[in-house]
A and B are shown apart, each in its own frame.
Chain A
């Protein structure tokens, strides 16, 4: 497919039109912070180099979502889904959405998650690239090209102050139009260098986990902002006699996450919970699904009040594994 060239103002006008059809989620300023949020005015949309504070996973996996309603003698699915257009998703966030797709919809998972699929089918993603690497970003080490992602429905490139829209799928075709132009040349994808290739037994007990987590206060902000964290809880709420089952996020950084009814808890210590978080992304999901579920966006590193660093932790583990080999 070819690309279309249009000015920023034309793009905003097109966006205003799209807002009639879609719920548009895009980076907007929210309390002095750039966030993916619902756009009410096309002029608010900010398309620049900054990475939004939160990840866009809420578009497919909301923090609180009604999933089932109990009625007299029967149940019905209770999702409230609108077509969503996600504009300006960074390549790392697109990669993370792909990871979630793999976990919730692929055949390797034995079961498919229909609630996720319902939402995913209604989502159109238009990406936008980064021009520079920010502090704590490590997408290049995770093998993600920060300037472009082919795994979305369309892509916005910035060329000399203008926008070059490049549709990539049928869904993304025709969202923005303008004078036809050649799509820009792409660099090759960087190599995925940050990953753990080892057996569970080599990593689980032998690494100095306690030294990685000294600053942790157990606030769970890392999992809250992470674009690939997807643990959840099902919870019933009753309102005026109607019982609704909601799906809410949960976090492995909380001690109650694994607490058994009997009082037994397999993960009582901070280091065990951090180990679960790191290894779930870098060892267990690769084992089960064949990809590492970390997109290198660096949100967990930037926001951690205790200074925990998943990148440093993983590279330390890699070094130690190398040493052990020799």
Chain B
């Protein structure tokens, strides 16, 4: 760790703004950023992203860690800061500090099948891992890959432009599901935890990686455990209200664990020992 003051952000410039969702709300955008002082990060980590004069927010990385010249953040418009972020256009100056948090245990996962289950925006923090594993240099180290993506409506899928590429990867199955039936939709319908028994996977060899709203994570992990998977093999990445990202501000603790330094990646085995307050 460098001597740099972890509170001081460095400058970044927005290269491109991508409108992600095509539904009526259109409330998710991906921001492609160029950093003045680039840094390396690992899948699972997050940054503190701020607009000067507006405020700071926490976001997980949404691009592959192997891309070195820029990074991407996928942001949903939900509050004061994100409203203002959504008004930014190409060339705007923003500020970034990070990376913070722990990472997915990629090395420990080698040799296993992977099963990603995501809900809505939950796909974004998993994208660094998905892209990392799909990279030809690392793909051989992992077995079969299942992906189950959930969204409210067909227009609410983020990174839809990548789905085609991902589904054509070797030994990979990609499933999409929406909450309620819609005319013209020929893929799955229903909440992810009701669907995992329809998807063939080897519960002894698979590691499940979940990300989505807290309700979905709770329901899904129960479903996986009932299905016979061991809690050590289920990983999730949690979200919490955060201010500092370095374990000082006292906001993101679950018991004595701080999501910003001990997390955000936890296995279900770890979570079951923590107080149920997330």
Contacts and interface: CB of A to CB of B under 8 A. Distances in A.
A and B touch in the complex (CB under 8 A): yes
Contacts of B6: 111, 114
Contact of A110 (B52, B57, B246): B246
**Interface bracket on B:** 35 or more
A232 B255 CA distance: 18
Interface in B242-278: 243-244, 246-251, 253-256, 261, 273-278
Contacts of A73: 11, 93
A307 interface: no
Nearest to B273: A201
Interface string A97-127: 0000001100001110111000000000000
Interface in B47-99: 50, 52-57, 78-79, 82, 93, 95
A250 B261 contact: no
Interface in A283-318: 283-285, 287-288
A230 B273 CA distance: 26
Interface stretch (A86-94, A151-159, A256-264): A256-264
B38 interface: no
Nearest to B3: A114
B70 to A, nearest CB: 19
Interface residues of A, number: 50
Contact of A204 (B7, B53, B79, B275): B275
Contacts, number: 123
Contact of B248 (A103, A245, A264): A103
A234 interface: yes
A12 interface: no
Contacts of A230: 248, 250
Interface string A218-250: 000000000000111111111000010100001
Contacts of A287: 256
B8 interface: yes
A67 B7 contact: yes
Given A77-B5, A236-B50, A266 B247 contact: no
Contacts of B240: 258, 260, 266
Nearest to A116: B248
B249 A260 contact: no
A235 B50 CA distance: 10
Contacts of A115: 5, 7
Nearest to A288: B256
Given A67-B7, A236-B50, A284 B253 contact: yes
A252 B243 CA distance: 13
A252 B251 CA distance: 8
B7 A68 contact: yes
B214 interface: yes
Given A104-B248, A261-B79, A267-B277, A114 B7 contact: yes
B241 interface: yes
Nearest to A110: B261
A200 B261 contact: no
Which of A75, A252, A257 is most buried by chain B, counting CB atoms within 10 A of its CB? Answer: A75
A250 B78 contact: no
B248 A111 contact: yes
Contacts of A204: 255, 275, 277
B105 interface: no
A205 B276 CA distance: 9
Contacts of A103: 248
Given A243-B53, A283-B256, A113 B248 contact: yes
Interface of B: 1, 5-11, 50, 52-57, 78-79, 82, 93, 95, 213-214, 239-241, 243-244, 246-251, 253-256, 261, 273-278
Interface of A: 67-68, 70, 73-75, 77, 103-104, 109-111, 113-115, 200-201, 204-205, 230-238, 243, 245, 250, 252, 257-262, 264, 266-267, 272, 276, 279-280, 283-285, 287-288
